[in-house]
Amino acid sequence: MSYTWWDELGEFKALHSMNAIRIPWIRDTLTRKYEQMPLSLASPLQDKVILDAGSGGGILTEPLARLGASVIGIDMVEENIKVAQTHLNQDPHIVSRVKYIQAAVEDLVETEEEKFDAVVSSEVVEHVSDLSTFISSCCKLLKPGGSLFITTLNKTTMSYGLAVFAAENVLNLVPKGTHDWNKFIPPDDLQYMLDKNGLTRSLIHGIIYNPLTNRWTWIQDTSINYALHAVKAEHSKHGI
């Protein structure tokens, strides 16, 4: 289904519309953190090096580069990387700031440890086979003081009913089999893994998708989708 990545009304439309909330969230968190004054409105993420871990077709990678960041998008699926690179080549303004790599995030640690100001992994961890190794790799890839941004699905009856059953069988938002509920992650489990790797959670917040309006909204309730931001300890190389 790779050719549909850039169809804003296709199978990935919810990822496209999520950009409306996840990009300002990442931008504002990073610019506040580095207290960039005066803030460059055109390139607020200038000089930031970001890893988009599980970048798919580049739906999130490109807008981050448009905000001035240098972004590495990594995805284990060759076809996704090809689609992302082909789409990127159409925009000469950002092509030099984005690099796509076809590999598993876990394989990047050997060469890129502590290289990134931020690691972003949006709608990925619920697809990963060895979550503990994946999270530990994301943490190792961050510079001390770096930020990890995750969006994912909670493991609740509600998330099964809406994100799996309704999304795949009633609303036909995503193809059948897109999500395996057994891989969904309760926030406490994610928090435990982050703690083990020397990261402190600074935010956890619910987000919800309205399929009728194709819009995402921030909500208090984290029982279906949630977003998490955590920060790596300043002087810890490998965490605890």
Ligand X SMILES: C[S@@+](CC[C@H](N)C(=O)[O-])C[C@H]1O[C@@H](n2cnc3c(N)ncnc32)[C@H](O)[C@@H]1O
28 is in an annotated binding site: no
CB of 124 to ligand X, least distance (A): 4
Residue 104 near ligand X by CB under 6 A: yes
- Cβ-based nearer residue to ligand X, 75 or 112: 75
CA angle at 81 for the pair 197 and 111, rounded to the nearest 5°: 40
Pick the piece of the chain touching ligand X (CB under 6 A) from 69-77, 88-96, 190-198, 205-213: 69-77
- DSSP-assigned letters across all residues of 37-68: SS--SS-TTTT-EEEEET-TTSTTHHHHHHTT
- For the record, the structure tokens of 150 come out as 């995750």
Residue 62 near ligand X by CB under 6 A: no
> Which residue in the set 6, 116, 134, 226 belongs to the binding site for ligand X (CB under 6 A)?
134
Residue 15 near ligand X by CB under 6 A: yes
Nearest CA-CA partner of 187 in 204, 202, 199 = 204
Distance, in Å, from the CA atom of 193 to the CA atom of 135, rounded to the nearest integer, reads 7
Q: Cα dist. 154→97, 184, 192 in Å?
A: 33, 6, 14
* Count of residues engaged in binding ligand X, rule: CB under 6 A: 20
> Which residue in the set 14, 77, 131, 204 belongs to the binding site for ligand X (CB under 6 A)?
77
For the chain, percent helix, then strand, then coil, each to nearest 5?
A: 40, 25, 35
**E strands of the chain, at which residues?**
49-53, 70-75, 98-102, 116-122, 142-153, 199-210, 215-219, 225-232
Distance, in Å, from the CA atom of 159 to the CA atom of 82, rounded to the nearest integer, reads 32
Residue 54 near ligand X by CB under 6 A: yes
Pick the piece of the chain touching ligand X (CB under 6 A) from 51-59, 156-164, 181-189, 220-228: 51-59
> Which residue in the set 30, 50, 83, 105 belongs to the binding site for ligand X (CB under 6 A)?
105
Residue 80 near ligand X by CB under 6 A: yes
- 153 contacts 224 by C-beta, under 8 angstroms: yes
Residue 159 near ligand X by CB under 6 A: no
Pick the piece of the chain touching ligand X (CB under 6 A) from 49-57, 63-71, 181-189, 225-233: 49-57
Binding site listing for Mg(2+):
123, 126-127
Which positions lie near ligand X, rule CB under 6 A? 15, 54-56, 59-60, 74-77, 80, 104-106, 122-124, 127-128, 134
